Amino acid sequence: MASVGSDPSVSRFERRATGYETGVRGRWHAEIVERTAALTRTVMPDTGRVLDVGCGSGALLRLLARDASDLTFVGVDPASRMLVVAAGQPTIVRSQLARSTAEALPLRAATFDVVVSSVSFGHWPDQRRGLGECRRVLVDGGSLVLVDVFARWLNMMSRRGNRTSANTRSHTTALLHGLGFADVEWHDVDRRVIGALVAR
């Protein structure tokens, strides 16, 4: 856990925490969260456990927990200030929050029915390892809902930064298949480059 805050993007989110849900970016993020919640509800069981990886200020957790009283929600994020903001929301009281990266989830194997992540995947330093962790904590037959920006032009940006990212649907699908997700369904979230997948 010592490396939780070592990624430069974590520092950026620490600085943005208190105003994360405001302004133009905040409104855009709220739209994506609404659509992520709608897709996630299609695979949520009546009872069980849901994990939000990269939960940030807790916006998605709040929406999902609003009408699901028999589910347990857990949120993890590497930015401690984001978790402070999330914990301060009144409707987050039934959720458990922990500081963690996607690549090292402090959770037991096979304990979640749904793992969801909304626009945090692009910030994971090791996406294959993070997806492997999501797979590890899912129960047999559980679902992964992953929403992020997927576009070919991002590949060039990633290479310039000396970092390999799964920025296209085909690359991400290949990663998921390699980790044992047999069924991957893609959905359009908006008219731009936001894509969503449900993997089992």
Residue with tokens 């969503």: 196
* Domain presence at residue 115: yes
Which three-class secondary structure state does DSSP give residue 55?
coil
Asked if residues 57 and 20 have their Cβ atoms less than 8 Å apart, the reply is: yes
Residue 116 lies in a domain: yes
In a domain, 109, yes or no: yes
CB 184 within 8 A of CB 136: no
| Residue 54 within a domain | yes
Q: What is the pLDDT of residues 51-84, one digit of tens each?
A: 999 999 999 999 998 878 889 999 999 999 999 9
Query: What total of structural domains would you count in the chain?
Result: 1
**CATH assignment at residue 96:** 3.40.50.150
Q: β-strand 95-99 against 194-199: which pairing, if any? A: unpaired
**Which residues, 6+ apart, have CB-to-CB distance to 34 below 8 Å?**
63
Each residue of 23-46: pLDDT tens digit?
777 688 889 999 999 999 999 999
- Residue 198 and residue 184: Cα distance in Å, rounded? 6
Assigned domain for 1 exists? no
Print the domain residue range for 24. 8-199
CA gap 115, 40 in Å, rounded:
9
Among candidate residues 126, 119, 63, 127, the one with its CA nearest the CA of residue 91:
63
Query: Residue 188: left (phi > 0), alpha (psi -120 to 50), or beta?
Result: beta
Question: How would you write the pLDDT of the chain (200 residues) with one tens digit per residue?
Answer: 335 545 667 877 677 656 676 777 768 888 999 999 999 999 999 999 999 999 999 999 999 988 788 899 999 999 999 999 998 887 665 679 999 999 999 999 999 999 999 999 988 999 999 999 999 999 999 999 999 988 765 554 444 344 456 678 888 999 999 999 999 999 988 766 688 989 99
* Distance (Å, whole) CA 195 – CA 39: 12
pTM: 0.87
Half-sphere exposure of 47 (CA within 13 A, CB side): 1
pLDDT score at 166:
64
In a domain, 2, yes or no: no
Q: Is residue 3, in this structure, part of any structural domain at all?
A: no
Q: How far apart are CA 144 and CA 136, in angstroms?
A: 11
pLDDT of residue 192: 60
